Structure 1
Amino acid sequence: MYIAGSVKNHKFDILIDCGASANYINQEIVRALNIPTSKKKEALSVNGFNGDQIANCTRYCHIRLKLAPNFQPIIQFLVIPMKFDLVIGKRWLARSVPKPDLDLVHHTIRIGPETVIHGYVRPSHVPVLSAMQFKRCLNTDAAFLCLVKPNDEPSSKKPPVEQHPAAQALLKKYGPVFPDELPKVLPPTRAVDHKIEIIP
């Protein structure tokens, strides 16, 4: 489940992961927002969902994370490279003891009698390149603009394909025999297949 949160007035999609042993933040966000970090005494090996090691964590930070207008806790995050913006794991969940409602229609987390955080199944956007990464590319002159134009022109405007003169004569002679539209599937296999040689 994801919840919406903001750090320094920048909105992010935050993954709630009951299986994560700690809280994590994308190192690109830390760089872009100039969040101060501290060095860990010992490097920590971080494993992904499939158990494979994805990073060695050497730094952490404390962030005031705005999850609701009246709920802005200061949370410790480990700084690692990852595809998510932020991940909140068991460390915060165990201390805050939120009450999740995992109804198929509404995903909410209740913290106290007056604080309800609404969640969602998928992030509001799934960028191929995040805004933070794009900003870094601009600073290093590594950004390019690519315009992809969809080809919505009707087939009638396309230039005709040149055909062999003998094939043109044959198609003109037996034009009424051919259907207006080609079939969308191949004919079934038969014991005897017929072949028409258009060009002898």
Structure 2
Amino acid sequence: MIIDGGSCTNVAFTTLVSNLSFPTQDHLNPYKLRWLNKGSEVRVDKKCIVSFSIGKVYKDEVICDVVPMDACHLLLGRPWEFDRNTTHQGMDNTYSFKHNGMKVTLTPLPPNQRNYGSPNMPEELNGVLFLSESAMEVQKEESNEVPAEVKPLIQKYKDVFPAELPSGLPPLRGIEYHIDLVPGFVLPKRPAYRCDRTTTRELQCQIEELMAKGFVRESLSPSAVPALLVPKKDGTWRMCTDSRAINNITFKYSFPIPRLDNMLDELSGATVFSKIDLK
């Protein structure tokens, strides 16, 4: 089994599904893949529910696309990470999440138990993790120099990407943004976050800076949203507002923004686009 944060779907090996007699269903949106299997592209038109367990604590089932692949038997991609709300620790290479009220942490196998081969790979190739020279694409070192054909375009729209944001709010538009609350709900009351003296001083400095530039202004509303500071990797602080309580009573938009991985799947292989596609 492989956990792959770059995969847009969960995948099950066709031989695994066949040997374990998992019932399959027709895929609602068949598509083609070229990266999971050596050779030509593969048409994905079947899916199934795969039950699995890791250790004695974590038992789960996922909906997988059925694909003949060389990588592994079961691949858990971004849909599994999204549904389980996993947290990946890159340094330790672990995945943590809550399952049935318990915290689960998946760790990689120790080096003496790892098998870098694949189920369909010939025995003489097992353990080989290198690409041939013909399979590699040699890339030039990245350069910060802007190509000559792009410079006129950047110069034309230089006001769109300034080095610093101009002071003040954008001009009034035909439609102004507002938050629609569900009728009948009472505004929730939450206590303010406790802050020490240093955090309070930094929070006040950031608010004064935003007010001086005209990005925010003093609110006349009787309600407020609690704010707090979160440390960043470079040692500075980022101001965050806790809008979870107000989001719970906000009228949900009828047409939510589609997931990026689904959009990429739909556009896979396309070379010509129209205004209808963009809408």
What's the TM-score once normalised by structure 2's chain length? 0.36
User: In terms of Rg, which structure is larger?
Assistant: 1
More relative contact order in 1 or in 2 (CA 8 Å, sep 6+)? Answer: 1
What's the TM-score once normalised by structure 1's chain length? 0.49
Query: Quick check: which one's strand share is greater?
Result: 1
